[in-house]
Structure 1
Amino acid sequence: MDWTEYRVHTTHEAADAVSHVLTEQGANGIVIEDAKDRENRPQDSDHIGQPSVEHLPTEGVVLKVYFPADVVKMDDIREALTVFKQRSDLVTGSLAISTEQLKEEDWEEAWKTYYKPVKVSTNLTIAPSWEQVKPGENETVIELDPGMAFGTGTHPTTLLCLQVLERIVRKGDRVLDVGTGSGILSIAAAKFGASVFAYDREDMAVRVANENIRINDVEEQVRVAKSDLFSDVKERGDIIVANLLADIIIRMAPEVKTYLNDGGLLLVSGIIKDKKADVRQALENNGLVLVETLEQEGWVALLLKEE
C-alpha cells in the first residue's frame, strides 16, 4: 500500500493541541519529532532515549501523520488548522504543511537507517525486530516494528510510562491499556508479569499492536480489542495506563474509577506542562489521589491512586 505523509510544523506550546486537531481528522497515530531532543543529547548507544537526532527539526515540533495515498486529506487538514489558529490563544507558529508520498517498503527501509536499540532504563531496552539483541542479566527487551502510523516508542511520553510500569507492575496484576497504539506499553506490562487488556479506537492500531504482541511472544498475556476509551471495556484493572492527549484524559476522567480496582493505580502521560494542572484537577475531582509527578523534556506523566 502507498501512503501520504503529512508533516505539520508547530511550536512546543501548541503541539498538544495541534495533535488533537490531527487526531480529529482521523490520524491513526502521530509521530512527534521534537527539536528539544537535539539539545545536549549524547550520541553513544548506551544513552537512555533515542540515539539518533539527525531527522529531528532544528526548532519547534514536527507532527507527522499517515493516510493511505488514495485518501486525500490536505484540504481538510488545512481547514481544520486554520480554524484552530483563529480560535486559539496559543502561539502556533506557521502550521506549515508538507507532504511526501511513501511506499510501504520505503518506509520500512527508512526506519532501519536510524532506529537502533535504545535503553529505557538499566534493565529495559527497546529494539527493532530486525536487530538481534541478546538480553543481559535481568534485562527485558521489547521488540517493536513501528508501522506506518506509530513512532519508535522512545518519545518522552512513552519512556515515562515504561519507566513507571517497570516499578509498579507486579506479577499477576491486571492492566488496562487505553489507547494502546503500537502496543508497547501492553507488551512491557506483560513482560513484567501482568495480564493485559489493550484497547484502541483505530483498526490500524489494533492490527499493529497484535503484530508487535506476536513478535514479543506475549499473545497469551495480552488481548487487544477495539474501543473508544472505555466504550467497550468490560474489565476492571489493578493498573490503568493511558498515554493520550491531555484533553482526552480529562474527558475520560469521570469513568476511570468504574474500571479501577480498589486501591488501583492510574498512569497517564502525553501531557504538556501547561496542561498538567488541568489534568490533575480533573482526575482528583473524580476521586483519584496524586502519588507522583514525572517530567521529561517538557512532557509530564502522572501516577494516581484510587481512594
Structure 2
Amino acid sequence: MKKMRIAIVLMTLCAFLAACGQALPPSAYAESSSGVSGGVDDPTGSVTVCRIVDGAETGELLLAELNGADGVYLLSTENLPVTVDGQSADAKDLTDGMTVEVEHSGMVLESYPAQFAQIVSLRAQTPEKGSYNDLCGLWLKVLDDLWNTDTGLNGMEDGGTVPYVGVNLSSAPGDLTETEKAAVAWQFGQLHGAQALMGTFEELKEQGYIDGEQLFWEDGVLFSVTANKQGETADASLPTLTFDAQKWRGGRGAYFFSDCVCVWPKSGTWKEYSIGNEAIS
C-alpha cells in the first residue's frame, strides 16, 4: 500500500513539474515506442496517432494514443502548425473527439501524462458522420454530473474533498480504448483535485483502497458507467447508447443514474443524454 502511494506521488510530481515548465534531466526523455517512422521534415521523426480527449477549446490538449498503444499526452497548440482534413487550419478549428497525427522527433517526456519533444505539426481529421464523436466527452460529462449530485459523498471530515476518485469504465458502451479510459479518468481527477485510480470495486478492494469488511471507502469515491442492454431498442433510427452510472462511497452512501439514453443528433457530439431514474442509498 505504501509503495503504491509513493508511486502515485512521484507520477503526480512529474506532471506538476512539467506543467510548471521546469525542465527535467535528459534521462527523463525516452524514444516513443509506438511512433511511425518517417517525419516529413525530419527523416528520424515519428508520427503518433491520438484522439483529442479534452482541451480543444483552450488549446491545451489531452490526447489518448490509438493503434493499441498506451500513451496519454498533454500538448499545447500554441504556435503549432495545424491542418484539418488536409487543409491549413488554426488551433481553434480543432474539436474534442478528433483523430490527430502528431509529428514529432520521436522523443517523449516521461511524465504522466507524457509530452512530445520537438513537435513538427498536428494533422487532424474530422470524425465520420455518425461515428462516436467525442465519446470521451460524454463520459466526462456523466462523471461530472455524478460528482455534482449528492456532493456530501465527495467530502472528508475536515471539510475538504476526497483525495481519490476511482473510475470504472470497463463496461461502458462505445468501445473506448484502454488509453482513452485512462485519459478520461486522469482528467476527471484533475477537474476535482483528486488522484484518479482506474479499477472495479473488487480491484480497488484488493489493492487496499476500499474496506471490504466495512464496505466503505474512507478517502475516496468510486464512479462507474455500465452498459444497460435492457434499454436498447431495435427500431432506433439513430445510433443510441443506453447505460447506468453510479457513485459509491459505501453501502449506505451511493447515488445512481439508471436507464440513461444518449442519441446521436446527426451533428455535434454525444454529450446530451437523459436520465430515466435517480436513486440514493
- TM-score (normalised: structure 2): 0.31
| Structure (1 or 2) with the larger CA radius of gyration | 2
Between Structure 1 and Structure 2, which shows a larger proportion of helix residues? 1
- TM-score (normalised: structure 1): 0.29
